[in-house]
Amino acid sequence: MTITEARITRGNGYGQYIVSGIVNGESIKVRTTNSEAFDWFNDDSNLEKHEEAIEYVQSVLENRYELLNN
């Protein structure tokens, strides 16, 4: 599975975030409440938490892609 342009941004409600990216050429967006992923996705001062956030975002995108295409 190819994931590009993965990111997590603030949503429009308190504690709401949007995970988005391109999975196998298809634009995917998913809502989440995972503030820790939001906090660490772009912050590599703690590599373990940063990598966990990246893995979380990729996993969410892969799961949504699978749901939409099966």
Give the whole-number percent of the chain exceeding pLDDT 90: 96
Q: Which residues are CB-neighbours of 31 under 8 A, at least 6 positions away?
A: 11, 16, 17, 18, 19
Domain boundaries in the chain?
3-65
60 pLDDT band, cuts 50/70/90, is very high
What pLDDT was estimated at residue 40?
A: 97
Q: What is the pTM of this model?
A: 0.93
What pLDDT was estimated at residue 70?
A: 85
* Model confidence pLDDT, tens digit, residues 20-54: 999 999 999 999 999 999 999 999 999 999 999 99
- Residue 35: how many other CB atoms lie within 10 Å: 13
